[in-house]
Amino acid sequence: MKSYTPDGHIETALTEKDAKELDIIELFFFAYRDFTADPDMILEKLEFGRAHHRVLYFVNRKPGMTVAELLEVLKITKQSLARVLKQLIDKDHIVQIQGPRDRRQRELYPTHRGRQLALELAAPQSRRIANALEQLDPSKRAVIEHFLKAMVNPAQWQQIDSLPKSG
Amino acid sequence: MKSYTPDGHIETALTEKDAKELDIIELFFFAYRDFTADPDMILEKLEFGRAHHRVLYFVNRKPGMTVAELLEVLKITKQSLARVLKQLIDKDHIVQIQGPRDRRQRELYPTHRGRQLALELAAPQSRRIANALEQLDPSKRAVIEHFLKAMVNPAQWQQIDSLPKSG
DNA sequence: AAATTAAGTCAACAACACTGACATAATCTT
DNA sequence: AAGATTATGTCAGTGTTGTTGACTTAATTT
């Protein structure tokens, strides 16, 4: 059914017959694109980028996190983290405190400003999610969460589970 | 309940009480991180990046797409697309054909090689999704699709709807 | 005392995005 | 037919976010 042209190019679209789950592959792309676009606009005004957002987010979710833990979650190198973290510290969004048990470690905490910004950045994302869930009946929430968690490598579920629940 | 320390840093974690849907915010982050990691490994060997993947994907999904259409979907500038597209053309994954109606346009088509690579890149992503769905009963598939579509800006639903269905 | 670990730093580099300016060819408008 | 607009391509410069590799410092472990 794949139609070839004289010069060898393909005119037939790739569809579900060729590869499964294409619809979800592209929905995931579009959803993530728009999901990140909202905070990006806020960050631009502060001369921060998406990398700053990620650091700020996780430090707020787990205050006292060490540098090594953060690197594990973000899956980037310490040199890459260094620049971004330095800027967040300089602009008084995060502070580093020498680890009490092991004084080589640096525990990361948000300042009041850092907490405020994290909340401001979370707001449009919460709104987008709440809006998407509203169109579903409440029992469906668990389905979404289960699906998303199953999309994550099981080896890293521990990262998710280590974050605090609603409390 | 927010506990301040003498020097002003915050030790209390950000939780659902402070901002809604945090669990889905972070699940979305982790899921997308791992979802893109699989094709990234394949691309590395070919000296391609994630940008090449996105171009190749959409050209395969809608052969004959023009440059302008692609820019709209990817939300990048033509200068940014140029480099990546040139490399895909040089390495014989995509061809450009002068538009038959409007000869200013360049219609983009995958070559056989380009189709093969698109399939190879889609494979691990399909597998990951199929595996995540397997743990749910089949009726739940529609719930996921509905949720993901609702996460996309309605103004861009037309981009999703313009892609070919299984047919 | 020696080895290892946590973190920081310097330097070079690459991918992928951006802005602004300009060129060419084709189409549309008047 | 002339002029304006459109689709694409290209050149040059810049910024963010990532990489590798090498080295330092201080603290902890062996």
3-state SS of B20-79? Answer: CCHHHHHHHHHHHHHHHHHHHHHHHHCCCCHHHHHHHHHHHHCCCEEHHHHHHHHCCCHH
Q: Residue A165: what pLDDT? A: 86
CA gap A156, A161 in Å, rounded: 9
Q: Between helices B22-45 and A112-134, what is the axis angle to 10°? A: 90
Distance to chain A for B148, nearest Cα, Å: 6
**A81 in Cβ contact with A71 (< 8 Å):** yes
Cβ within 8 Å, pair A15-B164: yes
Mean pLDDT of B6-20: 92
Give the best residue of A5, A11, A12, A27 to mutate against chain B (max B CB count within 10 A): A27
Q: Residue A137: what pLDDT? A: 87
State yes or no: pLDDT of B6 exceeds 70. Answer: no
**A155 in Cβ contact with B33 (< 8 Å):** no
CA gap A30, B167 in Å, rounded: 22
Cβ within 8 Å, pair A28-B32: yes
Show which residues sit with Cβ under 7 A of nucleic chain D: A 47-52, 54, 74-77, 79-80, 83-84, 101-104; B 66-68, 78-79, 82, 85-86, 96, 99, 102, 104-106
Which residue has the least CA–C1' distance to nucleotide C28? B102
List the single residue in B63, B64, B145 with the smallest CB-CB distance to A24: B145
| Residue A14 token pair | 């790739």
Beta bridge partners of A109: A95
Q: Which residue has the tokens 């205050």?
A: A63
Mean pLDDT of B110-125: 98
3-state class (DSSP) for residue B48: coil
CA gap B158, B160 in Å, rounded: 5
B102 touches strand C (CB under 7 A): yes
Tens digits of residue pLDDT in A139-164: 999 999 999 999 999 999 999 999 99
B44 touches strand C (CB under 7 A): no
B1-10, B31-40, B151-160: which has the minimum mean pLDDT? Answer: B1-10
Q: Residue A7: what pLDDT? A: 74
Cβ within 8 Å, pair B10-A145: no
Q: Residue A2: what pLDDT? A: 64
Residue A65 φ/ψ region, left for φ over 0, alpha for ψ in the -120 to 50 degree band, beta for the rest: beta
Q: Angle B159-B160-B164 (CA atoms, 0-180°, nearest 5)?
A: 105
Q: Residue A125: what pLDDT? A: 98
For chain A, residues with pLDDT lower than 50 are none
Please give the mean pLDDT across all residues of chain A.
Answer: 95
Residues making up chain B, counted from first to last? 167
Q: Residue B8: what pLDDT? A: 83
Q: Residue B5: what pLDDT? A: 72
Distance to chain A for B120, nearest Cα, Å: 9
Q: Which residue has the tokens 């280590």?
A: A162
State yes or no: pLDDT of B112 exceeds 60. Answer: yes
Q: How far is the CA of B103 from the C1' of C28 (A)?
A: 14
The separation between the first and the last C-alpha atoms of chain B, rounded to the nearest angstrom, is 56
Q: B166 — contact with chain A (CB < 8 Å)?
A: yes
Question: Nucleotides of chain D within 7 Å of a protein C-beta?
Answer: 6-13, 16-22, 26-29
Q: Which residue has the tokens 């994302």?
A: A125
Q: A59-80: b or e for each residue (b if 16 or more CB lie within 10 Å)?
A: bbbbbbbbbebbeebbeeeeee
CA gap A101, A162 in Å, rounded: 20
Report CA-CA distances (Å) from B152 to A27, A80, A81, B124.
8, 30, 30, 24
Neighbouring residues of B1: CB distance < 8 A, sequence distance ≥ 6: B12, B17
Confidence of residue B124 (pLDDT cuts 50, 70, 90): very high
Statement: A22-130 belongs to CATH 1.10.10.10: yes
CA gap A48, A120 in Å, rounded: 14
Q: How far is the CA of A113 from the C1' of D14 (A)?
A: 30
Tens digits of residue pLDDT in B138-167: 889 999 999 999 999 999 999 999 999 865
Statement: B22-152 belongs to CATH 1.10.10.10: yes
3-state class (DSSP) for residue A86: helix
**B22 in Cβ contact with B16 (< 8 Å):** yes
Q: Residue B4: what pLDDT? A: 65
CA gap A19, A21 in Å, rounded: 7
| Residue B143 token pair | 């719930």
Q: Which residue has the tokens 């490399």?
A: B87
